[in-house]
Structure 1
Amino acid sequence: MATRREILAGLGAFALAGLPRYGHAANAVTLGSRTVTSVSDGNLVLPGDFAFADLPQDELAPILAEYGVSRDQIEPPCNVTLLQDGERTVLFDVGSGSGFMPSAGALVDSLDALGVAPEDVTHVIFTHAHPDHLWGLLDDFDDPVFTDAAYMIGQAEWDYWTDPNTVSTIGEARASFAVGAARRLEAIADQVEFIQPGQEVLPGVAAVESFGHTPGHLSFEVRDGGEALLIGGDAIGNHHVAFARPDWASGSDQDAELGAKSRMMLLDKLASEQIPLLGFHLPGGGLGRVERKDSAYQFVMEEM
């Protein structure tokens, strides 16, 4: 069986076999005066071992069978969140751009289909700085795509990816992630605002600590009166194993123990408070609700 390092190192080559990238606006929900839209950046193409290699295979098999998920290859969607309130046009993450996988990087085309140009974006808020969330920041000429936007990122996330020691401590397989993040974050160093968990980063938008997937990963709760929605980023990374066995380590989390703790905290909150979720890698545009199922949870997609 391939090691985690070998799997990560081979992702670029593996992705070349992927489908061409596509774009569409998948779903939208209204919260008071705000509209939150799921906008497609395409999808990733990953070997199954990336997500499943370290899990108990006899317990994993029936979960994958129940959800119709291949053990050999997964193609998670990439759902960027667009928030519009009549005054601000806000993106949560910016997708992959053209430099990560050929099956992803469709955000600008998807926004264009909605009548939103890059220069219309007033704010970009990052959940974290992995390639499929950050690398769409710059175009093919290394110029910022969202020229008029203000940028926000968690202080802990910024500190980690801009630390020159990260490239040598993150592990060989993810070293390119560190190099790519540092280069892109440097390009916006004079325009970025650092945020903290619990902070209201914009009116009605609060940062929620969900560390583990990366050292400073943040989710965001959007609230208008009694209505709310959680933008989950990668804290809840799929609609099958992450819900059926949230306590299991995720191969994509940099700190698997902390990632599981954050995932279980968010799932309990979402199920208890019945707050809709928009997840970056969840199906149906990522919009749905969390329901309790036996001793765990399930994701219920909603057409909103």
Structure 2
Amino acid sequence: MIDRRTFIASSLAGVALPYFALAQIELADGQSLITVSDGNLVLPRGFIFDPMPKDELASVVAPFDLGEELTPECNLALVQGGGRTILFDAGAGPDFQPSAGHLLAALEAAGIAPADVTDVVFTHAHPDHIWGALDDFDEPLFSEAVHHIGTLEHAYWSDPATLETIGEARATFAVGAARRLEALADRLRFFDDGDEVLSGMLAIASPGHTPGHMSFQIGDTLILGDAIGNHHVAFLKPDWPSGSDQDQDMAAATRRALFDRIRADDLAIVGFHLPQGGYGRVDAEGDGFRFVQS
């Protein structure tokens, strides 16, 4: 049951977003969830939209008055309770985009030090989710934390063959993920679809964006990662391909399955790239859905 939600805004120089959003939700069993902002990405709109039906796309995105660049937020879920501080993903760090990599400032605003984090749970190993796991000296930033990652996701990014098959545009993704996973090797714990990763946290395979992408259900809240990533299109047209997904057909099937689960079980959602802190609910709209901030 969600009892309350607050937004805390603080102005920080050099960040493309005008604020860091902290959405606080009370969960069951004395746990609370906040989302902390790592900043935002800056992407050419074609990176997401190019595979979509151009004759229909214009009317779908018209309400958003988009320019040539998209600036999706980067919202990390953080759950506290039962003696644990659990961070979902680790942000981009300083080496990806200057508009991202601001997680430490957001954690400080929330009164959380890196050493307070007991667990880091990765949804997947794209740069904006794992590159922030190491500090400036290539040491684990969250020095006291166990780092959890899906078995398949780890195997994919640790395989040298991935660099040869992923394509030139994402080659740096593969190099960066492999380096960070190697540095974290003695801190990693693996899990599979359906596992209880930590008490009350169910792992849900949500492949397509990456081969081993995982989402997580805690009570009546579903932490999506990037499985449902673009609020401009993915809700209303979940079956359309997105250029951000490595396997576009699989990702579309995953979105549809997740939407069915969300609606059937009346789940709240937290999306890494969804707006205003990433927290909300899903309503039906026509043959698709609509994201409702709450």
Deviates more, 1:138-147 or 1:192-201: 138-147
Task: Give the RMSD, CA atoms, in angstroms.
Answer: 1.3
Q: Deviations over 1:69-112 (max 9, x none)?
A: 41511100000010001400000001000000000011111001
TM-score, normalization by structure 1: 0.90
Is 2:55 the counterpart of 1:58?
yes
User: Quick one: which amino acid aligns to residue 259 of structure 2?
Assistant: L
SS of the residue corresponding to residue 98 of structure 1 reads helix
User: Quick one: which amino acid aligns to residue 51 of structure 2?
Assistant: D
Matching of residues 1-304 of structure 1 within 5 Å: 20=16, 24-32=20-28, 33-66=30-63, 68-223=64-219, 228-302=220-294
Distance 1:85 1:167, change over 3 A: same
Q: In the TM superposition, what is the alpha-carbon distance from 1:21 to its structure 2 partner?
A: 6.6
TM-score, normalization by structure 2: 0.93
Q: In the TM superposition, what is the alpha-carbon distance from 1:142 to its structure 2 partner?
A: 1.1
Alpha-carbon distance in 1 for matches of 2:275, 2:123 = 19
Distance 1:19 1:60, change over 3 A: farther
Alpha-carbon distance in 1 for matches of 2:19, 2:198 = 28
2:280–2:293: 8 Å Cα contact kept in structure 1?
Answer: yes
SS of the residue corresponding to residue 158 of structure 1 reads helix
1:271–1:290: 8 Å Cα contact kept in structure 2?
Answer: yes
Alpha-carbon distance in 2 for matches of 1:148, 1:23 = 28
Distance 1:65 1:21, change over 3 A: closer
Distance 1:162 1:93, change over 3 A: same
1:23–1:41: 8 Å Cα contact kept in structure 2?
Answer: no
2:150–2:214: 8 Å Cα contact kept in structure 1?
Answer: yes
Alpha-carbon distance in 2 for matches of 1:102, 1:253 = 23
Alpha-carbon distance in 2 for matches of 1:111, 1:22 = 17
2:115–2:143: 8 Å Cα contact kept in structure 1?
Answer: yes
Q: In the TM superposition, what is the alpha-carbon distance from 1:25 to its structure 2 partner?
A: 3.9
SS of the residue corresponding to residue 290 of structure 1 reads strand
State percent identity of aligned pairs.
53
Deviates more, 1:29-38 or 1:121-130: 29-38
User: Quick one: which amino acid aligns to residue 41 of structure 2?
Assistant: L
Alpha-carbon distance in 2 for matches of 1:94, 1:23 = 19
Distance 1:49 1:245, change over 3 A: same
Distance 1:22 1:168, change over 3 A: farther
1:23–1:107: 8 Å Cα contact kept in structure 2?
Answer: no
Alpha-carbon distance in 2 for matches of 1:221, 1:193 = 18
Alpha-carbon distance in 1 for matches of 2:62, 2:67 = 9
| Length, aligned pairs only | 280
Structure 1 consecutive aligned stretches of length 4 or more whose deviation exceeds 3 Å:
18-23
Q: In the TM superposition, what is the alpha-carbon distance from 1:140 to its structure 2 partner?
A: 1.8
